[in-house]
Chains A and B, each alone.
Chain A
């Protein structure tokens, strides 16, 4: 990519080819989206995968494991939201409600009806998707701010319903003693096992989305984001695509909610408020919209940030607000995207300057 125009290969090109290659392992590749490439795993993906698999074995701190479990759950949520927000270009401020629906479905099914957790896991995703279909049918004809507002209204109404229907959801107290997640008698009862569970689910959903955005439907998402009128003109069923991606994001949130309920063993209305919805949107923005690594990166970063801020007690939320604003001002199109471009520019500039100093240019 760097020196495809040059026939000869100079030794000093290593100075910027090697850093660029290292960078390409870490920084998501924006070109990926628009080019048809082979579906095989590339170096970067294998690097990520190895890091995710090996890291908890190397770093044997339970707090780290727990944090990464939370980051994984947030990443599943952010991945679903990024399909809706980053690919289809619609704004949602009520995504936490679907997370809540998933968590409460699992909680109610496992504690009241002694449902197996694996069955409840799928039931949660189904319930969340159904709710998204019913709510999305009327409100997805709105655009921009008004869609954001409508989804926000839905999220707040969900909270009110959860708090008030005491018989079903336990009201403000919530539901306790949800069993650990288990498949065929194997119970995920330690942080390490939960880590592999969460990141395994995330990996599955990630591969699914990766194939989805390359499919006909994924292209349709992008065209809807670019211009609904143009998409409509070329024969894309805009309403159907929008509701499809909304339902899909909600199903992802349902999976995440089910995992969250099983891992935390409680379901409480406070966890599913507007703050979480805003945080999820932040994860997608900070990671960079329009690529699939972005939301995962963003959710890891922000989950860690919140954990670190927890040390500052009462100051934490004020600092959090300031950091949100600073991130948005300086990295409005994502840390990865902006930083990657900046670094590539710097390395290129440095190499060119060196050549110019030697009088060869």
Chain B
């Protein structure tokens, strides 16, 4: 049957898509692990990463690696500024207020970027050639391997950060037990500040990796952010491994669904998965340290 011939190819593109969702989800989880804040502007970090790199590369003619590095730096600065100007004044506000204010920040960032860099969709050149590799009848663009490799590297980096360094442990402590962290002399403000920078950095890296595969325009951040968020919930709220797993599951399922239902419903699939996971297992696939199962 013709349908089944497409499955390996869809699986490959699903894995790439999943890696991107996983990277966005990692950004969410990084902030969640330091404080119970959900940053809906995470998708805008991804968008900014791609758009700023494009501007530096094409507008200022910087070499590719330097442009990527500078763009990451700029996005990290934006993350710090977001924390200072929005999250810090609202540190005592109820969750709903923080949620809506990050949505406001997301509106601001996406529209300001459209003013500064234009509304046209942007595509960066791939890192290493465009010639697809063919393995067993399935063609793989080299960029996909870059995305997968970076995801693994980032996961290892975050694992080492949270398990082998003092600041990583302090970050986690300030989320799981705020009072205890205060008593031990951990500055929670500083920890959340650093977490925002880190998460913006992860977002920027994701954006730079994505832009050669998919076009990035000023309004693509919102939907990427939402998908990444769904991935984070799906895999296990507040777990790095959960975010990665959730990202891949979401990407593969979404890509596979193309074989069975009209492509217009693709976005709906992710939200259907979200409703199912929230209903049947709010902890996510791997379980979550922050979701108390008794509450449901």
Within 79-115 of B, Cβ neighbours of A (below 8 Å) are at 85-86, 89-90, 93-97, 99-101, 103-109, 111-112, 114-115
Residue numbers in B under 8 Å from A317 (CB-CB): 107-108, 111
Within 49-88 of A, Cβ neighbours of B (below 8 Å) are at 85
Q: Are A160 and B268 in contact (CB under 8 A)?
A: yes
Residue numbers in B under 8 Å from A85 (CB-CB): 96
Cα(A321)–Cα(B222), bound, Å = 14
A325 and B265 in contact, given A144-B95, A153-B274, A153-B275 (Cβ under 8 angstroms): no
Cα(A25)–Cα(B90), bound, Å = 31
Within 256-308 of A, Cβ neighbours of B (below 8 Å) are at 274-275, 278, 281-282, 285
* Chain B residue total in the interface (Cβ 8 A): 43
A145 touches which one: B99, B101, B262, B295 (CB < 8 A)?
Answer: B99
Residues of chain B whose beta carbon lies under 8 Å from any beta carbon of chain A:
38, 85-86, 89-90, 93-97, 99-101, 103-109, 111-112, 114-115, 222, 226, 229-230, 233, 262, 264-265, 267-268, 271-272, 274-275, 278-279, 282, 295-296
Q: Are A149 and B229 in contact (CB under 8 A)?
A: yes
Q: Are A285 and B100 in contact (CB under 8 A)?
A: yes
A325 and B101 in contact, given A315-B115, A318-B115 (Cβ under 8 angstroms): yes
Q: Cβ of A133 < 8 Å from any Cβ of B?
A: no
Comparing A134-142, A208-216, A233-241, the segment that makes contact with chain B is A134-142
Residue numbers in B under 8 Å from A91 (CB-CB): 96, 99
A154 and B108 in contact, given A329-B101, A332-B97 (Cβ under 8 angstroms): no
Residue numbers in B under 8 Å from A332 (CB-CB): 90, 93-94, 97
Q: How far is the CB of A254 from chain B (nearest CB, A)?
A: 21
Q: Are B268 and A328 in contact (CB under 8 A)?
A: no
Q: Are B90 and A320 in contact (CB under 8 A)?
A: no
* Chain A residue total in the interface (Cβ 8 A): 40
Given contacts A152-B226, A160-B268, 14 further A-B contacts (CB under 8 A): A139-B278, A150-B275, A160-B264, A161-B268, A163-B264, A164-B262, A275-B107, A285-B100, A318-B107, A318-B112, A320-B107, A321-B105, A321-B109, A325-B85
A139 and B282 in contact, given A149-B233, A164-B265, A328-B97 (Cβ under 8 angstroms): no
